[in-house]
Amino acid sequence: MTGVRGVDVRGSGVRGVDVGGSGVRGSGGHATGGRRAGARAVRPTSARPAGVRSAPIRRLALGLLAAALLAGCTTAPTGAAPGTTGTPNAPNTPAASGSTATATPAPSRSAPTPTPEGTLLVADFGSDTVTFIDPGRGGSGRNGGPIASVEVGTAPYGLVVGEDGRAWVATAEGVAVVDTQWRTRIALIPYETETGPVTTGEYRGGGMGIALAPDGRHVYVGVNVPGGNGTLEVIDTATREVTATAGVGRRPFDVDVSPDGREVYATNHDSFDVTAVDADTLRTRRMEVAPYGTEGGLGSWLKPHYAVVRPQDGTLLLPFEGERLAVLDPRSGKVTIERMTADTHQHGAALAPDGTLLVVGTGPIGSADEGPSLTVRAPDGEERIVPLEGPHEDVAVSADGRTAYVTGGFTRDGYWNGITVVDLDSLDDLNNEKNKPIRLSAGNRPLGIAIL
């Protein structure tokens, strides 16, 4: 299985709430204003029958009872998760207007269907669910669509999936643990950090970025505290307990881990910085990443959002505005700038296996900016820009590096409920209709994404 944030990774006594299967259902952060220095304007009962004397009548009654019990004994269709209720979504098969959909009963003892490999999982920021999505024929998006949704907690944001098939989902209430094979929530781990009332929306408190240690023993989640600095909480994946916390900056949009697992990095949107946290001692170091400066403070659009860690040298890559790629060396704190060409506000990022960087352009924040796009940046810096229809938020790339999946949620207004599938092998011929990106309706304001 593949994990989130570009390159994916694959208990006992839950403290707080330990929940059995939740019902399966069928189917940044900015303020206005701010400009770039020296640049253009800025830019989801049967009652048991009473006894009777007559044997024939008794046999008749028992026969009728058996028939009734058999009729009422059918289970959910085989795609439903064990311990859950509801009907899984059928890919791209909406019911006709005015019609009544009828599910075909399955045998009462039929085995549930496990989630197929290659299924997409998205966090529904506009709801309280994660949604499983069939990526279509060969992962191309064709004939794909939602499979089922599972309740996880209020306003889920980021998610990551481990080698054991468990997904860890950062919600406003806590970190939900989901068995992705059987599509069931198995725990909800409350935060140690006090974040105020559970709310929804762009500035809600609770978990945002989330990542797994390379050895799978710990989960790290960035917790937003409205109006103040956030925290990084450490969760033991065996006990499902929060074991430590460390202070970080404001609104930790993204969390990443060094290739050797020794440091954790929180990308703090509203404080223009990255906090490096020692995984053993929890000592922290603040590193400013502000290629346009910090003028405008909370009202600026020119702040860091997401980062990826380059495996070969451990540097962090943070895209800004489709103009500047900040390359942060976490050992020295030094930032170097490389030129980008999309000229659009940017959020999510991911690395393909060959080192190609994918960056989501959300759209213009100024009159001179370009529209939404996906930047495909080769390791040598050459870029190709794929236009997208409407704002998007985050991106994941297939294990073979041939397909990108871009979520349409977006942290601000203008989002749409679906994902866009981009064939990375066909970028030289996007004018050909069969090579154009494919849009799949799925999820509810989907933000974080993983490939199972």
Give the closest residue to 184 by CA, choosing from 145, 135, 155, 148: 148
Q: Which two tokens stand for residue 368?
A: 């001179």
Tell me the CA distances in angstroms from 336 to 5, 108, 269, 292, one per residue in order.
22, 62, 19, 13
Residue 153 has pLDDT above 50, yes or no: yes
* pLDDT for position 42: 33
Contacts of 17 (CB under 8 A, 6+ apart): 174, 187, 188, 189, 190
Query: In angstroms, rounded to a whole number, what is the distance separating the alpha carbons of residues 430 and 419?
Result: 18
Query: In angstroms, rounded to a whole number, what is the distance separating the alpha carbons of residues 95 and 100?
Result: 7
Which of 123-132, 252-261, 395-404, 406-415 is least confident?
Answer: 406-415
Model confidence, pTM: 0.79
**221 φ, ψ to 5°?**
-125, 130
Residue 243 has pLDDT above 50, yes or no: yes
* pLDDT for position 111: 53
Taken in order 298, 301, 306, 311, the sign of the CA dihedral is negative
Counting other chains too, the contacts that 44-51 makes at CB distance below 8 Å and 24 or more residues apart are 44/122, 44/124, 44/126, 44/393, 44/407, 44/408, 44/409, 44/410, 44/415, 44/416, 44/417, 44/418, 44/419, 44/442, 44/443, 44/444, 44/445, 44/446, 44/447, 46/72
- Confidence tier at 433 by pLDDT (50, 70, 90): confident
* pLDDT for position 431: 78
Residue 143 has pLDDT above 90, yes or no: yes
- Confidence tier at 451 by pLDDT (50, 70, 90): very high
Which alpha helices (DSSP H) does 350-420 contain, by range?
none
* pLDDT for position 72: 38
Taking residues 67-96, what's their average pLDDT? 37
Reduced DSSP (H G I as helix, E B as strand, rest coil) percent helix, strand, coil of the chain, to 5? 10, 35, 55
Q: Mind listing the pLDDT tens digit for each residue in 96-114? A: 333 323 232 333 344 579 9
Taking residues 133-158, what's their average pLDDT? 96
Residue 16 has pLDDT above 70, yes or no: no
